[in-house]
């Protein structure tokens, strides 16, 4: 099995994760997704964006990087939510 060389570039660091975050929030808002399913929605969104846009010529790279896009969006959202909550409290 040949593993692809995956480089983190501008797309991965600056664009993909915020896009996954925004799309996940839109899906949550439009379809009234229960909060327990939101991380799954973020993961699926990240994988889909990665497979169909960022790494469309290699499925393994798309799955691998999509996993990171989804989980980075989940972590970013949780961190931002916690920061805002604590800022308002103090």
Q: Give the pLDDT confidence of 29-75 residue by residue, as tens digits.
A: 999 999 999 999 999 999 999 999 988 888 998 999 999 999 999 99
In a domain, 66, yes or no: yes
Q: Does 2 reside within a domain?
A: no
In a domain, 72, yes or no: yes
Q: DSSP label at 6?
A: -
Mean pLDDT calculated for residue range 63-88: 95
Confidence (pLDDT) at 90: 77
In whole angstroms, what is the distance from residue 78 CA to residue 49 CA? 21
Please give the tally of structural domains in the chain.
Answer: 1
**Domain, as residue range, for 84:** 12-89
Does a structural domain hold residue 48?
yes
The answer to whether the CB of 43 falls within 8 A of the CB of 67 is yes
Nearest to 6 by CA among 59, 84, 85: 59
Q: Is residue 7 part of a domain?
A: no
The pTM of the full predicted model, rounded to 2 decimals, is 0.84
């Amino acid at each position: 099995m040949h593993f692809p060389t995956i480089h983190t570039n501008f797309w991965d660091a600056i664009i993909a994760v915020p896009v996954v975050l925004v799309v996940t929030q839109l899906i949550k808002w439009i379809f009234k997704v229960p909060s327990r399913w939101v991380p799954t929605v973020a993961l699926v969104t990240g994988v889909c964006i990665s497979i169909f846009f960022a790494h469309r010529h290699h499925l393994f790279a798309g799955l691998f990087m999509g996993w990171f896009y989804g989980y980075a969006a989940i972590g970013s959202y949780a961190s931002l939510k916690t920061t805002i909550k604590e800022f308002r409290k103090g």
